Amino acid sequence: MIRDRLYELRPFNTEESIEIEVDTSMQKHDEELYKVLNRFLVIREQIDLIRQNIDTMKSLINEQKFHYKDKNIRDQIENLISDSLSKSKNVHNSIKSYQEELKLPSQSYTIFRIKNMQLALIKNDYLNVYREHTLFVEKYEEKLKKVLKREAQIMSRNISIEETEALIAEKEQVPSLFVGNILEETEKAQCELREIVQRHNMLMTLEKTLEEVRDMFFQISTYVMEQGSLIQVIEYETENATTYVDKGGSELEKARELQIKALKKKTYILIILLIVLGIIILILIIT
């Protein structure tokens, strides 16, 4: 006679399904964790590359042979500045993406804590390296202006700030700009050429101004992000202060209740002592 053993197999099937579900859930969690950690490493690598670009540019302008006419060095510095700005924008967008993801409720507590910690580290490191990049660019442009003004003083020629910036924007390597300008003043035929050059320099200056405006908006966005971090710190300290105030109020209420209880105990003890004293006096009178 054949026995029905289906009831014996059901427990095993249930246990296997539970194990499969647990394994699938753990696998998804591990994949998500790997993506989060890998993205963090990519962003940190970009920040490190920006810092390497800054170190390279510092070493280039600190050399004694550096001159504003050296097209090779200037091209290297301009390329490194553009590369750093591009990487800065990528990091800036990644920080924005982190902030949006932290607002999503559909994520595990572990992933949320990891992303929150990564965001704090990346934001702090990014703001530091961006400040360093901005300071270098200002120092670099200031050094170019000083070199141009010094050469103009040697040639006994005064140049304005606009002319200095136009010379900085010039990318071609020429023998001597100031000597050329003196020769142009002695020849009437060169006046038209000078006007064309000035118009070209104006266009170059306008293009550079537009780039500076674009970078200024990007810098303002970074400063807004930095102010947001300070506001979060202030909000955190305010919440702590509110908590301590509420806790202090509770402690005062408890102290008031304990004081009332102590007063009641003293009153009861005094009444008992008076009763005992009255009984003793009564016994003495009777005896």
The answer to whether 84 and 50 have CB atoms below 8 angstroms apart is yes
Segment among 82-86, 169-173, 247-251, 273-277 with least mean pLDDT: 169-173
Joined tokens for residue 195: 């006007």
How many domains are there within the chain?
Answer: 2
Query: Residue 161: its pLDDT value, please?
Result: 58
Residue written as token pair 């054949």: 2
Indicate the residue among 168, 200, 231 that finishes a domain. Answer: 168
Asked whether residue 270 falls in the same domain as residue 162, the answer is no
Tens of pLDDT along 36-73?
Answer: 889 899 999 999 999 999 999 888 887 666 666 677 88
Residue 154 maps to which CATH number? 1.20.58.70
Tally of CA atoms within 13 A in the half-sphere of 91 that contains its CB: 31
The one-letter amino acid at 92: H
Domain assignment present for 2: no
Joined tokens for residue 20: 């499969």
Domain assignment present for 278: yes
Pick the more confident residue, 229 or 283: 283
Q: Does the global pTM surpass 0.75?
A: no
**DSSP helix/strand/coil, 73:** helix
**DSSP helix/strand/coil, 287:** coil
Neighbours of 148 (CB within 10 A): 20
Indicate the residue among 168, 192, 222 that finishes a domain. Answer: 168
Domain assignment present for 214: no
Domain assignment present for 91: yes
33-57 burial, b at 16+ Cβ within 10 Å, e below that, comes to eeebeebbeebbebbeebbebbeeb
Domain assignment present for 66: yes
Asked whether residue 44 falls in the same domain as residue 160, the answer is yes
Asked whether residue 43 falls in the same domain as residue 142, the answer is yes
- Percent of the chain at pLDDT above 90? 10
The one-letter amino acid at 147: V
Residue written as token pair 């390329």: 79
Indicate the residue among 168, 190, 218 that finishes a domain. Answer: 168
Question: How many angstroms separate the CA atoms of 226 and 134, rounded?
Answer: 15
Domain assignment present for 46: yes
71-99 burial, b at 16+ Cβ within 10 Å, e below that, comes to eebbeebeebbeebbebbeebbebbeebe
Asked whether residue 164 falls in the same domain as residue 67, the answer is yes
Q: Catalogue the E-assigned strands of the chain.
A: none
Domain assignment present for 181: no
Domain assignment present for 41: yes
Average pLDDT over residues 1-22: 50
Average pLDDT over residues 168-190: 49
User: How many residues belong to the chain?
Assistant: 287
Q: Which domain holds residue 265?
A: 256-287
Is 90 exceeded by the pLDDT of residue 260? Answer: no
208-247 burial, b at 16+ Cβ within 10 Å, e below that, comes to eeeeeeebeeeeeebeebbeeeeeeeeeeeeeeeeeeeee
